[in-house]
Amino acid sequence: MRPNLVVALFLPGVVSAAVGDDGSLWVWGKSKRGQLGLGKHVTEAVTPAKVEALSGENIAKVSFGWGHALAQTVDGKLFGWGYLADGRIGKMGNDLVEASPLDSSATPFGDSPDLEVAEKRVLEGMEKESDMPIVWEPRLVEELEGIEVVDIACGLDHSLVLCRDGALLSCGSNAYGQLGRTKTDLGIFPVDINLSPVSIAAGLGHSLAICQLPEPDNSIGTTNIASWGWNQSSQLGRPGPGNIPSLIDGLAGENPTAISAGRAHSIALTSKGELWVWGSGRSGRLGSGSSADEPEPFYIDSLEGFQILQAVSGFDHNLVLVAS
C-alpha cells in the first residue's frame, strides 16, 4: 500500500479505502448509497475488498462525499459512483438527474447562527432522501472523456475536479455556494475563478483551491488559497461574499503547498513547513487549546520542531504525519 494518510471524510457513509501499489482500489465499511462500488445492493464489506469494476485501471486518488465517490487514474480518467442526485458525479448518462431534497435552495443551512442546528438540518434532510438514484459500481464520467483530470475533491454533496489544462470544474449541490459559479445548471461546469488552481479540497459545504498567483512578489508570495461556499464557522478564512471564489488575505506571503478541509474547518501546510488552521474550533479541532472559531488563518506553533510530511482533516479532527 502507498504510504499516504487516508482519512475517510464523511459520516454516516462510513467507507474507508486504500490504493494498492499496483493501482488497485480496496474498500471496506458500510454505505447504503453504493459508495463501496462493489456491485448492486452491496452495502457492507467487513474486510478490504477489491473494486473489480476498476480492475485494469491504475488509480491515483479516490475521494468520498456523503453518498458519492470519485476516483482518478494515473492517466487522468475520472470515475464516479454512489448517490448521484444534483449531478454530483456528473449526469451518468441520465439527463433527468434531479436535485436532492437537501438542496432546498431558498434557505441554505447556512442561515442558522448555530452550527449544531445547521448540522441537525443536514441530517434531517438526509433522512428524507428516500428514493435514491444510485450508481452501484464505478463508471467513467462521460462528460469528461478525453479531458485529463489531475485532482479531485468530494464535499458532502458536491465535487471539484481539476483538469490538466488548469480548468477547475464543479458539480453537485450549490446550497451554500460551494460550486463557486453563477451557472446553476446540473452538470459539470467551470468554477468562476480567474486564477490558476494547482490543488483542491472540499469540506462539508466549502471549497478550497491553492492557486498560483499571476504576479507573485515578496509580500503576497507565489501561491495562495481561494475559498468559497459555506462559512457557518468562518471556514472560508476571509470576509465575504462567500459564493465567489476569493483569496484569503490572511495567508498572503505564506505560500500554501497543501490543503485539507473538514466539516467546518480548514487547514493548510505552507512552504516553510508550517501548519495553518481556521474555521470551527469546536471540540478543539483547531489544536489551538480552545474551542473558539477562528475567522482568520493562524499558525499552530505547538508543532514547531517537527518536520510535517502531510496534514489531513477528517470530519471533525485532523491528523498530521511527521518525520521521525
- Which residues make up the interface to ligand NAG (CB under 6 A)? 231, 234, 236, 238-242, 295
Least distance CB 175 / ligand NAG (angstroms): 15
**Which of 248, 277, 249 has its CA nearest to residue 262?**
277
8: left (phi over 0), alpha (psi -120 to 50) or beta: beta
- β-strand partners of 169: 161, 190
Q: Which is nearer to ligand NAG, 241 or 253 (CB)?
A: 241
Count Cα neighbours of 91 within 13 Å in the Cβ-side half-sphere: 14
Q: Which is nearer to ligand NAG, 23 or 110 (CB)?
A: 110
Least distance CB 176 / ligand NAG (angstroms): 10
Least distance CB 18 / ligand NAG (angstroms): 36
d(CA 248, CA 259): 13
Q: How many Cβ atoms from other residues are within 10 Å of residue 6's Cβ?
A: 16
d(CA 127, CA 113): 22
Least distance CB 118 / ligand NAG (angstroms): 13
C-alpha cell of residue 116: 449544531
- Amino acid making up residue 247: L
Least distance CB 113 / ligand NAG (angstroms): 9
Give the end-to-end CA distance of the chain in Å, rounded to a whole number. 20
Q: Which is nearer to ligand NAG, 170 or 243 (CB)?
A: 243
Q: Which is nearer to ligand NAG, 250 or 287 (CB)?
A: 250
Q: Which is nearer to ligand NAG, 115 or 147 (CB)?
A: 115
**In the complex, residue closest to ligand NAG by CB:** 240
d(CA 312, CA 165): 26
